Amino acid sequence: MADRDTTSRDARNRDTTSRDITSCDTPSRGNRDTPSRDTTSRDTTTRTTMRSPDSYWLATGPEWNPHGTSGPHTTTSDTTTLPAHTDVCVLGAGVMGTTLAYWLARAGRRPLVLERNSGPAMGSSGRNAGRLIQGGHAQHAVAVDRHGHAEALGIYQATLRNRDLVREVVAREGLEGTRFSTAKLDLAVEEDEALELKRTAEALRADGVAAEWLDPAGARAVFGTDLPDTVLGGLHRPDQDAVHSVAYVRGMAGAAVRAGAELACGVTVTAVEPAPGGGWLVTTDRGPVRADQVVVALNAWTPRLLPELASVITPVRGQLVQTAPVSFRIPQWGLDRGLVYGGQTPDGSLLIGGLRKTVPGHDEGVDLPWDANTPAFSTELADRLAEALPALLPETAGVPVVRAWSGVMAFTPDRCPLVGAWPGAEGLWVMAAFNGHGMPYSQVMPEQLAERILGGPGAGIPAAFDPARFL
């Protein structure tokens, strides 16, 4: 998922996106039947059934088959006894946990990854938009205002390093087919957002990052298809990446296994406690594991094991809809400070997500299911997203919407993630709450946290991400 911050009270309180681009005031496409919980019936001339819970990535990604990887098979099955002791135990086989295991294994360690699902990337990592867009939760100029120039630049540079690491790793591990190049175009339909994006373009150029503000004609040229007349322009940043989320994460899990990591799926962790004599006792439904160090990488589910974070991490539901493939190509895009966003899959399908401001409570503080990876998607919000797309992209009128799904993001009060040591608890680490922007940090934060776990400085983790600020 992806979801940016807003920067003004007016922006936070708006119930619909500016100037009606996504207000769903589009021409009627015929009567629709009342949707059931899991499907939405549409006029068959323009729409097909939207399905859940599978995302595009889960539906089209490779099955998790560790036996198919080259080299020794080092996963455990759901019938294998867990090791009594491990050096580093990583909780969660999403993009953060699998990538951390990869970097630890490359350094000669043999981490144990525990995952409650039957394979990696079945939670939020497999339900996002696949965007590795550079920058933090807020636009760079806003981040400078909040954190000061040095810290804001460190956050942005971390995502630049992430881009380079992704390209390096996919080439080394034979995962080139999971990554594709793109650009980012943040559109504005309100003067205040246009000013913010212009300031960001100037701030990025001053820091040596390629970025420019485009007028409406320039934005249309970059976008590759028509845009409404209400668009005032956009912030263009080239040289971005996107991935097939499930193929990429499962590819990283396979690379970690080949490097020496052990991955145990179908394991539910119920507690993490200090062990007598030092280290940590990880209690699971398949027996206890004693670990010298433990990393909790469970994103919105982290407070279930670390209840001190219950007041810090807010679960937020995000939703996406997917169209049938189209013939034109567009970049990754955002609107209304990223609260509406979209892009395109490798097969040409369009994605649009967001519009949380149109639902009560903005879908924040949702209840997390105990036996599923996400709450059910809202058919009402899926309708709004489907209707908003042709309002923004006139060329999509009549293109069928074929799928909708939800995923859970984890927000913090300051919209910065939690990456680092748990204060006062030697050997306990947390890597969670990426505020809808986990993929832009999905290599660099695990790489740098692995360095810290191994005794190094891990200087690439911004100070603003230190969990101690809330503990």
**pLDDT number for residue 359:** 84
CA–centroid distance for 233 within its chain: 26
- Tell me the C-alpha distance between 369 and 372, whole Å: 5
pTM of the model: 0.89
**pLDDT number for residue 290:** 98
- Tell me the C-alpha distance between 101 and 117, whole Å: 17
**pLDDT number for residue 29:** 30
Helices 245-259 and 95-106 pack at an angle, to 10 degrees, of: 30
Paired strand residues for 179: 243
- Tell me the C-alpha distance between 164 and 443, whole Å: 9
**pLDDT number for residue 357:** 86
- Tell me the C-alpha distance between 398 and 404, whole Å: 17
- Tell me the C-alpha distance between 97 and 261, whole Å: 11
Cis peptide before 53 (omega within 30 of 0): yes
pLDDT per residue rounded down to tens, the chain (471 residues)? 666 644 443 443 444 444 455 443 433 333 333 233 333 333 333 344 555 568 999 999 999 986 644 344 455 544 468 999 999 999 999 999 999 999 999 999 999 999 999 999 999 999 999 999 999 989 999 999 999 999 999 999 999 999 999 999 999 999 999 999 999 999 999 999 999 999 999 999 999 999 999 999 999 999 988 999 999 999 999 999 999 999 999 999 999 999 999 999 999 999 999 999 999 999 999 999 999 999 999 999 999 999 999 999 999 999 999 999 999 999 999 999 888 999 999 999 999 999 888 888 889 999 998 888 988 878 888 889 988 888 888 889 999 999 999 999 999 999 999 999 999 999 999 999 999 999 999 999 999 999 999 999 999 999 999 999 999
Are residues 281 and 89 in contact, defined by beta-carbon separation less than 8 angstroms? no
Q: Residue by residue, what is the 3-state secondary structure of 68-89? A: HCCCCCCEECCCCCCCCEEEEE
**pLDDT number for residue 60:** 95
Residues 6+ apart with CB under 8 A from 206: none
- The tokens describing 25, both together, are 């005031």
246-279 in b/e burial notation, b at 16+ Cβ within 10 A? bbbbbbbbbbbbbbbbbbbbbbebeebeebeeeb
- The tokens describing 459, both together, are 């200087």
- Report strand pairing: 332-335 vs 314-325: unpaired
- The tokens describing 368, both together, are 């997390």
